[in-house]
Amino acid sequence: MQHIVIIGNGISGVTLARHVRKLSDKKITIISSESEYFFSRTALMYVYMGHMKFEHTQPYENNFWKKNRIELVNGYVEKVLPDQKTVSLSNGDLIKYDALVIATGSKPNKFGWPGQDLKGVQGLYSKQDLEQLEKNAPNKNVCKRAVIVGGGLIGIEMAEMLRSRDIPVTFLVRETSFWNGVLPSGESEMINEHIREHHIDLRLGTNLKEILSDENGKAKAVVTDKGETIDCDVVGLTAGVTPNIDFLKDSGIELGKGVKVNRMLETNIKDIYAIGDCAEQHEGIGLRRPVEAVWYTGRMMGETLAQTLCGNPTEYNPGHWFNSAKFLDIEYQTYGWVFSERNKKEYEEHFHWRHPKEKLCITIAFHKDTHEFLGINNFGIRLRHELFDRWLNEKRSVQYVLEHLKDANFDPELYDSYEEAIIAKFNQDFNQNIQPKKKSWRRILKLA
Amino acid sequence: MSTLDKSMSLAGEPPNALNTNQKISVLIGMTGLGILILQLFNLQLGNSALWLSISLLLIFLGVFLFSQAAYAHKHEGIKNDGVWFKSISSRGVLGWLTGIALTGFYIVLYFYPEYLGLVQDGDNKGVIALFDPLSKALSGNPASQWFVYGALYTLGILAFGIKFMWKYRHNGYQRLRTISVMFFQTAFAFIIPEIMARLNGDLPYYDLKNMWPLNYYNFERYRINGFIDAGDIGLAMLFFGILSIFVISPILTYKFGKRWYCSWVCGCGALAETVGDPFRQLSDKSKFAWKVERWVVHSVVVFVTLMTTAVIYSYLGNDTSKYWLTKSTFLIGVSVILTAVFAWVMIFKRDQLQKDAQYGAIGYFTIIAVLIGMHFFSGDGNIFIFKSNTLRTTYSFLIGSIFSGVIGTGFYPIFGSRVWCRFGCPMAAILGFQQRLFSKFRITTNGGQCISCGNCSTYCEMGIDVRAYAQKGENIVRSSCVGCGICSAVCPRGVLKLENGPQEGRINPTEVLLGNDVDLMELVNRK
């Protein structure tokens, strides 16, 4: 019986294992040193905030693995030996494989800042990081101030976590506005306001220069490039993540930023594959980046590779880009491509609407000349994924999308809706006369 | 890692230690409660009306100010910070103490009302006497233990309803839903029945929104007689009672799911949603609990059906000339209805039931058929082997008191807020059955956006593992779902939405989520 060994029990490794089990009887082993059972990494913040217990982040009951004959090995892979088709663990165990899947995910970036390895300095990615944070910042008496470095999604999550325990937070963001490498300026500006409303000391256009140590080798302050020294007990390093592949250095597997794979998710060595955050496409697919550290791409790669391993060779072929996040209280979803000013394509035109009082806004990107709908960012309004996927497939015009915007609304019932206001603004901005169509279940569900 | 014990340790105290205003409001509320408790010792405070007003007002004010201090200064949004660190909401010492106190209160209320000051044939004493002026103002009668309970129940729903609305003030669905349960409790369950009793002394106490089988006593002889004696109004109410079972509730459930009742109207639901809200995350989500739930709740339905049949049967006669409805006609009627329902499900909806549900349905149907068949062999008064009265008292003791009151509410801080609705309520089971089989209601999931974080499952008061569906992109159609909407509210990615749409594709298991290219989706779905 073929033995599939998966390194890493994150979403991609576990999805792969589940689908292989659905499709076959192969022997499956998952190796992880992070946690006994699969949990949802994205939910770690809620454990610290007291919304959930760690057990709640585990999507499957503990007996699930035995029942589905997925063997779990708690261990740390030190080396991959492709010649012998074996992996060696740090405790000396050797595990033989017929197919090896690397699904080791990411680790937080460190850019060689002086003092980055001091006590009290940490990232936020693994279960161990969370345990570390619980030690470093249990409350506002032990941690009188925290400084977070890096203006992305993990940074703002960490700020929210610490604020939930009333710990003062200074948030250093290199960019001139929060996440403006990704978000258009109107949206980024709104999030800046929202961060400040939550009493987070947001410092834009500010870099970390060094972290100062006290006599016990623990962080006591940070120095910024503006010459300021900020006393603190905890430094959160959240300046992005990189693939977690150091253990593969001498294995002969081709590495770039991540493990190089083709569209079949194969590495340069036969029977070794890589999926999830640690996999790097030779070239980005469509406008996507070669490495995509997103929950759902990991899941999709797992689904795809399971097909390949079970005798149905399948290319990894992600559909339209989408994503979502939550900035403190503001939900964000995006479908298709809306680029920030920095990365905007020359044909890309934006329509932006923001509610006069509430923290709600949308940005729609469309083609200047053809008016083809390219993508939408929505903040504080929920929109239906399926419809935007369909509209992107059908290459609908921006006018069509606005006309049918009521179909796409996914807000809870009895919420205020803003389609009329959005369309009015669009008509005004672009001198159009679009009339919103009433919501239709027939259109939404494609009932003839 | 366990962060659960943090509230008991010196370091890492819960983030949400009470602020000064909350401490003051606790003092205010507890003073109000203290006045009631002092009455237990039969202290004569003098002017009952005055002291009752002071007490209720202080309790209300305490909860009101507490919520204001908790939420007013915060931004609109989800406010579950520290829920699992607090002793009261994570089965800590305070949780257990509250559970024990509530359970104790229910035991006294149901079985030893004399300790509350109830006096048969004489003036009330103690706490109950304190409520006499209010009761007399409403219905003209002195208070009973049920009146005291009803008043406190309503007060709880109103005060904690305001707290709930404050907590979810960003959410229109939650605001309106809460106003609705507050209204139905105050008007329909509390004030209207009392006033009706005053206007028409013969009419049995009738909470109009409370339908059979929740009010399993509705078709008992004394009530039927009461209705009939009260003339047209009584007959109209009797008719309404029957209509609400067979017509009104199925139509509303078809259109809106069982939520129109369970989380917008029902008093038990109202208490769970307001007073019980801090405990919703304690419900058990395991597969085992789900299995127990299915068997227990449906057994209760079968039991309540048998019991009601037996009770009605027991006071019907055999002589057609006296009254058209005789024992035999009635039993045949019941059999026809049950057979029709059973046949409809088994012929048209079998695919939607799991194996054990099918076995259960067949088993229950056989039992009922056999018992009804035995009617023709058993003597008068001895129906279904048991005496109808034995059935009736067993039910009212085990289900009516122990389950719905003592465990259902008393164990809020241990098993979560909807234990009764989940495991015991026959009404919820019947509506759930309708919801599962022919409603337009479902919870839809938003494409591939789910990140399996588990907020939805954690905060589901009905113990549904919402995430299990959401991460597969499946619609959620579960008998037990009361449509409270909290899963949708707490989802950080906007994945869940309560919808009343067309029935096509309502239950659609897909194994691959949106996002992959279409080929792969087709391939996997073909399996």
Q: Which two tokens stand for residue B205?
A: 């106490």
Q: Give residue A358's pLDDT.
A: 94
Of A52, A54, A320, the CB nearest to B455: A52
Given this model, what pLDDT does residue A383 score? 97
d(CA A276, CA A291): 9
CB contact under 8 A, B449 and A333: yes
pLDDT of the residue at A327? 97
**Chain A residues near residue B451 by CB distance under 8 angstroms:** 40, 42-43, 295-296
Count of CB atoms within 10 A of residue A403's CB?
A: 17
Q: What is the mean pLDDT of residues B261-280?
A: 95
pLDDT confidence of residue B8: 42
Is residue B100 scored above 60 in pLDDT?
yes
Question: Chain A contact for B287, CB < 8 A?
Answer: yes
Give the rounded percent of residues in chain B with a pLDDT score beyond 90. 50
Percent of chain B with pLDDT over 70: 90
Nearest to B273 by CA among B184, B208, B181, B189: B181
Tell me if A317 sits within 8 A of B519, measured CB to CB: yes
Choose the mutation target among B451, B498, B523 for the interface with A, i.e. most A CBs under 10 Å: B451
Interchain pair B448, A296: CB under 8 A = yes
The CATH architecture to which A3-107+242-309 belongs is 3-Layer(bba) Sandwich (3.50)
The pLDDT, as a whole number, for residue B7 is: 40
Q: List B residues 237-256 in contact with A (Cβ-Cβ < 8 A).
A: none
Q: What pLDDT score does B5 carry?
A: 45
Q: What is the pLDDT confidence band of residue B477, given thresholds at 50, 70 and 90?
A: very high
pLDDT for the residue B39: 84
Q: Helix, strand, coil: what percent of chain A each, to 5?
A: 30, 30, 45
Confidence of residue B387 (pLDDT cuts 50, 70, 90): confident
- Nearest Cβ partner for A441 among B281, B452, B501: B501
Q: What is the pLDDT of residues B198-226, one digit of tens each?
A: 876 667 778 888 888 888 888 888 888 88
Q: Would the pLDDT of B386 be above 70?
A: no
Strand partners, A266: A273
Q: What is the pLDDT of residue B359?
A: 84
Q: Which single residue is written with the structure tokens 């503990």? A: A62
pLDDT of residue A228: 96
DSSP A434: -
Topology of domain A322-445, CATH: Enolase-like; domain 1 (3.30.390)
Tokens of B98: 């509250």
Residue B4 has pLDDT above 50, yes or no: no
**What does the pLDDT read at residue A148?**
98
Nearest chain B Cα distance for residue A422, angstroms: 20
Task: Compare CB distances from A413 to B76, B173, B505 and report the shortest one's residue.
Answer: B173
User: Given an 8 Å threshold on Cβ–Cβ distance, is B4 in contact with A385?
Assistant: no
Nearest to B517 among A58, A317, A331 (CB): A317
CB-CB under 8 Å, A384 with B11: no
**pLDDT at position B511, please?**
54
Say if CB B302 and CB B367 are below 8 A apart: yes
Predicted confidence band of residue B302 (pLDDT cuts 50, 70, 90): confident
A197 to chain B, any CB pair closer than 8 A? The answer is yes
Whether B1 sits inside 8 A of A54 (CB atoms) is yes
Mutate which of A130, A166, A234, A324 to disrupt the B interface (most B C-beta within 10 Å)? A324
Contacts of A385 in chain B (CB under 8 A): 446-449, 514
Mean pLDDT over the full length of chain B: 86
Say if residue B401's pLDDT is above 90: no
Which residues, numbered 355 to 394 in chain A, qualify as contacts with chain B under a Cβ-Cβ cut-off of 8 Å?
382, 384-386, 389
pLDDT at B328 (0 to 100): 81
What local confidence, expressed as pLDDT, does residue B379 receive?
A: 57
The residue among B193 and A322 whose pLDDT is bigger is: A322
CB of B514 within 8 Å of any CB in chain A? yes
* DSSP element (H, E) containing B305: helix B287-315
| Higher per-residue confidence, B142 vs A362 | A362
pLDDT tens digits for range B480-489: 999 999 999 9
Torsional class of A179: left (φ above 0), alpha (ψ -120 to 50), beta (otherwise): left
Which residues in chain B (292-321) have CB-CB distances under 8 A to chain A? none
Asked, colleague to colleague, whether A3-107+242-309 and A322-445 share their fold, the answer is no
Res B370: pLDDT: 79
pLDDT at B90 over 80: yes
Q: Which residues of B424-448 are buried (b: 16+ CB within 10 A; e: fewer)?
A: bbbbbbbbbbbbbbbbbbbbbbbbb
**Domain at B440-526, CATH from 2.40.50, 1.10.3470, 3.30.310, 3.30.70:** 3.30.70
pLDDT for the residue numbered B2: 44
Mutate to test the interface with B, among A16, A53, A63, A444 (most CBs of B within 10 A): A53
Does the pLDDT of residue B44 top 90, yes or no?
no
Give the integer Cα–Cα distance in Å for A120 and A98.
Answer: 42
Residue, of B165 and B517, whose pLDDT is higher: B165
DSSP secondary structure string for all residues of B478-512: -TT-----HHHHH-TT--EEEEE--STTSS---SS
Q: What is the mean pLDDT of residues B512-518?
A: 62
Query: Which residues numbered 58-117 in A keep a CB inside 8 Å of some CB on B?
Result: 58-59, 61
DSSP codes, B390-457: HHHHHHIIIIIIIIIIIITTTTHHHH-TTHIIIII-HHHHHHHHHHHHH-SEEEEE-TT------HHH
Domain ranges across chain A = 3-107+242-309, 121-239, 322-445
- In this predicted model, which residue has the larger pLDDT, B414 or B401? B414
Please say whether the beta carbons of A152 and A175 come within 8 A. Answer: no
CATH topology of domain A121-239: FAD/NAD(P)-binding domain (3.50.50)
User: So what's the pLDDT on residue B476?
Assistant: 93
Rounded to whole angstroms, what are the CA distances from B419 to B45, B276, B319, B412? 38, 11, 45, 8
pLDDT for res B467:
96
Mutate to test the interface with A, among B520, B521, B523 (most CBs of A within 10 A): B520
- Residues of chain A short of pLDDT 70, as ranges, are 448
Residue from the list B457, B497, B514 with its beta carbon closest to the beta carbon of A389: B514
The residues near A446 (Cβ < 8 Å, ≥ 6 apart) are: none
Alpha-carbon gap, residue A283 to A325, rounded angstroms: 26
Which tens digits make up the pLDDT trace of B307-355? 888 888 878 877 777 677 888 888 888 888 888 888 888 888 887 777 8
Using an 8 Å Cβ cutoff, are A224 and A56 in contact? no
Question: Which one, of B185, B102, B116, lies nearest residue B420 by Cα?
Answer: B102
Which of chain A's residues have a Cβ under 8 Å away from the Cβ of B9? none
- Rounded Cα–Cα distance for residues A414 and A126 (Å): 39
Residue B515 sits at φ, ψ, to 5 deg, of 130, -50
Report pLDDT digits (tens) over B419-434. Answer: 999 999 999 999 999 9
Which of A348, A349, A322 is closest to A408 using CA atoms? A322
Interchain proximity B15–A322, CB inside 8 Å:
no
Give the nearest chain A residue to B452 (CA atoms).
A40
Residues contacting A389, CB < 8 A, separation 6+: A319, A320, A322, A335, B447, B514
Q: Are A318 and B76 an interchain contact pair (Cβ–Cβ within 8 Å)?
A: no
DSSP SS3 for A183? coil
B74: CB partners within 8 A, 6+ apart:
none
Residues in a beta bridge with A234? A146
The pLDDT value given to residue B123:
84
Is pLDDT of B104 > 70?
Answer: yes
**A416–chain B nearest CA distance, Å:** 8
Say which range, B127-141, B265-279, B488-502, has the weakest mean pLDDT.
B127-141
Q: Confirm if B394 and B384 have CB atoms less than 8 A apart.
A: no
A331/B contact by beta carbon, under 8 A: yes
- The residue ranking higher by pLDDT, B168 or B515, is B168
